[in-house]
Amino acid sequence: MFRFQSWKCCMLADFQIIVSAQVNQNLICGGIPQPSRRTEIIRFISIITAVTSPFIILQGLSRYLVTKFWWDDGIMLIAGVLLIPLSGIPLYIATKGFGDHLWNVPPENILILQQLSYVSAILYAFCITLPKISILLFYLRIFPNKKFRLLVKIAIAAVSCGGLSFTLGVIFQCSPVRAAWDLTVDAKCINSKGIVFSGATIAIVEDFLIMFFPLPLLKGLNLSLRKRIALAFMFAIGSL
């Protein structure tokens, strides 16, 4: 009897989720089914991974062959390793219904989709923070200017604190934490989309600031304008 009641509660919970989705579909879309975006997700992730992976591998290989590994190389290597599950999770969950509308997702897949999306968000928080710290550490390695190095150290502290806050915000977006992936749990949650969008916006601003960080030092170099522009462009590409 207990097993039957548990099974019934589980089925009712899934049924309520699907019915709610169908009601929203009817209200918003007039009952017209919407197309799947699975193919777009798989294509986008595959292209991004194919473009970024060779750069990470070549950077690590060049450091290993030419110079000794330092902190910036180690942190970039960690970011590269984390990029593997960050890319793999969307590809996997796309086969489980990620990219489809909720009413088209099998009820038994909803929980795993929520769980892996939660893990992916945490990995994303790490992967947008670690490369910036790596680039700033690289600046410390090549620029001897004391004032600039102090600014870089302050920037490292600021980026680290911001990344930690973003990560903790993603992890503890709900109380209890389980409610972040279990839609049947009664909980209090903050706006997860707000966390992601605000974190991504701050990350983009940080990217541009870090990209142009060494430009004041380049002005003082005894180089032609053309060479300084080329050097600035090289730093910008490296930051990206």
HEC assignment per residue over the chain: CHHHHHHHHHHHHHHHHHHHHHHHHHHHHCCCCCCCCHHHHHHHHHHHHHHHHHHHHHHHHHHHHHCCCCHHHHHHHHHHHHHHHHHHHHHHHHCCCECECHHHCCHHHHHHHHHHHHHHHHHHHHHCCHHHHHHHHHHHHHCCCHHHHHHHHHHHHHHHHHHHHHHHHHHCCEECHHHHCCCCCCCEECCHHHHHHHHHHHHHHHHHHHHCCCHHHHHCCCCCHHHHHHHHHHHHHHHC
pLDDT in tens, the chain (240 residues): 433 334 334 433 444 555 555 555 555 555 555 677 888 888 888 888 888 777 777 766 766 666 677 788 888 888 888 988 998 898 888 888 888 777 777 778 888 888 998 999 899 889 889 989 988 998 888 888 888 899 999 999 999 999 999 899 889 988 888 888 887 888 888 877 777 788 778 888 888 888 878 777 766 665 555 655 655 555 555 555
Residue range 32-85, pLDDT digits in tens: 556 778 888 888 888 888 887 777 777 667 666 666 777 888 888 888 889 889
> What's residue 10's pLDDT?
43
> What's residue 153's pLDDT?
93
> What's residue 158's pLDDT?
92
> What's residue 57's pLDDT?
75
> What's residue 220's pLDDT?
63
> What's residue 43's pLDDT?
86
> What's residue 50's pLDDT?
82
